[in-house]
A and B are shown apart, each in its own frame.
Chain A
Amino acid sequence: MPLQNFGSILNFAEELESQDQRFYEAAAGNPACAAHQELFVQLAAEAAKNVKTVQRIRREYVTEMILEPVRDFTRASFCEACEGAAVQAAAEVLATAKRLESRAERYYTEAADKIKALTEVARALKTLGKIRKVRSAKLAPLG
């Protein structure tokens, strides 16, 4: 499904953050991941906060409408399966976590570029991408 305007780009961001929140909450409750529980709780909380941030961007930064559709930007390349975090082995969960962080960073970076005509929105998305880069760095040495 194409992501071709402000609303769809922000709605998808909200979906990604919500999916990540659910994943980390499940991972935090997984006994096999007890060694990383504190980190997963923190990442889930951050994702929950990011949901609010994305909603705020969608509410507050609608300053100018762009009617021309954004081109060549679709959901498909950012969809990741991440079920099973509550029961999987720690290595598997960590691998998925790294994929999710990388996916989100890539999404925010590309979305910011696609919507650069709305400069405040682009800046906010870039910031969210940077947050994901930091999270990726935290996960990198694990597993």
Chain B
Amino acid sequence: MALPVMKNYINGEWVESDSKTFGDVWNPAKGEKIARVAYGTRADVDQAVKAARAAFWEWRATPPLSRARYLFRLKDAFEENFEDIAKVLTREQGKVIDEARGEVRRMIENVEHATGVTTLMCGYTLEDIAKDIDCKGHRQPVGVFAAIAPYNFPAMVPWWFLPYAIVSGNTYVLKPSEQVPMTQTKIFEILDSVGFPEGVVNMVHGSKEVVNAILDHPDIAGVSFVGSSPTAKYIYERCGATGKRVQALGGAKNIVAVMPDAKLDAAMPSLITSYYGCTGQRCLSGSILTPVGDVADALLEKFTAAAQSIQMGDGLDEKTSMGPVVSAAHKQRVLGYIEKGIAEGAKLILDGRQAKVADLPNGFFVGPTIFDEVSPDMTIAREEIFGPVVSVVRCKNMNDVVELINSRGFANAACIYTSSGASAREFKYRVKPSMVGVNIGIAAPMSFFPFGGAGQSMFGDTKGHGQEIFNFFTDTKVVIERWL
């Protein structure tokens, strides 16, 4: 049977790319191809940008409340199709269905937050800045924006940006990850049913050629990106060279510190989820586990037992608590890091390399893995693995913890488990990462707070969602006014 081919969505219509290059979309639990996607071309991007540019002036002149009403309708349509989106997501990405539901929820929350445009986009004014002179700051939309999205959250991440951009009066071009194009295709089918004016929202599938076409296109005003740090840096530099606004969110090496006074039993569910939720493929996942002082042995005993209780399988199966990694290539990459850990002398206390799931022999599964006795200079303590691999680096005290965290280069998130307010305060005060959890394993800001890191984890200065996102998508035009 012929596999479905993902189409672009340009100017309110589903169109096929002229590209002759295609990629395969996989069900990672079964290790089988389920769709194909055309790797779009510069011509596809240009067509989408032309449509977005043509739609801009009428859309930007549409009252903000009217623009918000499209989002209200979209939210309702998303709620009606909630389970369908979650199932498509699980099928192509591999995460378990509850995780997919959580992701779709977070996507919708961004739509909900963006509907507050009539408050959030307001400018400001001050009378009498000089004799008989008033000053007004109007926030105006800028033009065409674009997003380049990653594979780990195919539903949610594009919607950290898209609803805010369009509700502010901009128009949009989205490039989903070529590894997981089906989820946004489903979402755009729903979006199409809401009846946005043609050209306001467009989608082009593809790979590097589409990325470079977006970065170079003179009619794109700004780009939002989420992915690895090397690519984020590349995006940032190339956008800088072409004078674009840019927010490029990169990778992470998140550390979770567990203090001797932590309540281990209460902590364990969120702690274990931090490392193995979404099979470790999220930029907020714990990667290094840092027991402080004499808590180490008790912590590792409970943590290892909890990791062993995780049931791998197809994310659509209700019994599954951890799915596969996204691709065969990524599985090999994760396994490569485990080999490096062994070669560099870390002690492997839980080995996920041979993990198998009955009836799914071809799935891209890597089991929960734990290394103890990891030193900060080992590869597995420095590089982003993006899989279910935990590196335990034991620390003596808070100073060691802070030094370890602030020496990673990445500075996305850091978490602490403690019963001490003083320890929590010192931790959140001194660590460099921008997203901090206190007795929280995944320090994920919700849509009304900004999402993004520091250091090598973030290139650009305006983060995803939150109130600040309206700064990224608007220009504050200052009018100084005197009537003679």
A binds B: yes
- Whether, in the assembled complex, B99 has its beta carbon less than 8 Å from a beta carbon of chain A, the answer is yes
- Whether, in the assembled complex, A77 has its beta carbon less than 8 Å from a beta carbon of chain B, the answer is no
A75 CB, min distance to chain B CBs, angstroms: 10
**Which residue on B lies nearest to A9, using beta carbons?**
B318
- Whether, in the assembled complex, A84 has its beta carbon less than 8 Å from a beta carbon of chain B, the answer is no
Q: Report whether B272 and A67 are in contact in the complex, using a CB–CB cutoff of 8 Å.
A: yes
A53 CB, min distance to chain B CBs, angstroms: 14
Given contacts A62-B98, A117-B269, contact A67 B105 (CB under 8 A): no
Q: Report whether B269 and A66 are in contact in the complex, using a CB–CB cutoff of 8 Å.
A: yes
Given contacts A65-B99, A67-B310, A67-B321, contact A60 B273 (CB under 8 A): no
Across-interface contacts of A40 in B (CB, < 8 A): none
- Whether, in the assembled complex, B458 has its beta carbon less than 8 Å from a beta carbon of chain A, the answer is no
Q: Report whether A58 and B309 are in contact in the complex, using a CB–CB cutoff of 8 Å.
A: no
Q: Is the interface of A mostly helix, strand, loop or mixed?
A: loop
Q: Within the assembled complex, what's the spacing in Å between the Cα atoms of A5 and B272?
A: 15
A54 CB, min distance to chain B CBs, angstroms: 12
Q: Interface range on chain B: under 10, 10 to 19, 20 to 34, or 35 or more?
A: 20 to 34
Q: Within the assembled complex, what's the spacing in Å between the Cα atoms of A34 and B417?
A: 61
Contact check: which of A58, A64, A117 meets B101 at CB < 8 Å?
A: A58
Q: Within the assembled complex, what's the spacing in Å between the Cα atoms of A7 and B306?
A: 20
Given contacts A62-B98, A66-B269, A67-B276, contact A7 B105 (CB under 8 A): no
| 16 interchain pairs, CB-CB under 8 A | A6-B98, A8-B319, A11-B318, A59-B101, A60-B105, A62-B101, A62-B105, A63-B105, A64-B273, A65-B98, A65-B102, A67-B310, A67-B321, A68-B269, A69-B311, A117-B269
Binding site for A on B (CB under 8 A): 79, 82, 96-99, 101-102, 104-105, 268-270, 272-273, 276-277, 306, 309-311, 318-319, 321-322, 442
User: Knowing that A2-B319, A4-B318, A64-B102 are A-B contacts, what are 14 other residue pairs whose CB atoms are under 8 Å apart, sorted by A's residue number?
Assistant: A1-B318, A6-B98, A7-B96, A7-B98, A7-B318, A60-B105, A63-B105, A64-B270, A64-B442, A66-B269, A67-B276, A68-B268, A68-B269, A68-B309
The 10 A-B pairs with the shortest beta carbon distances in the complex, nearest first, are A8-B318, A62-B102, A7-B98, A62-B101, A67-B273, A59-B82, A67-B321, A65-B277, A66-B269, A6-B98
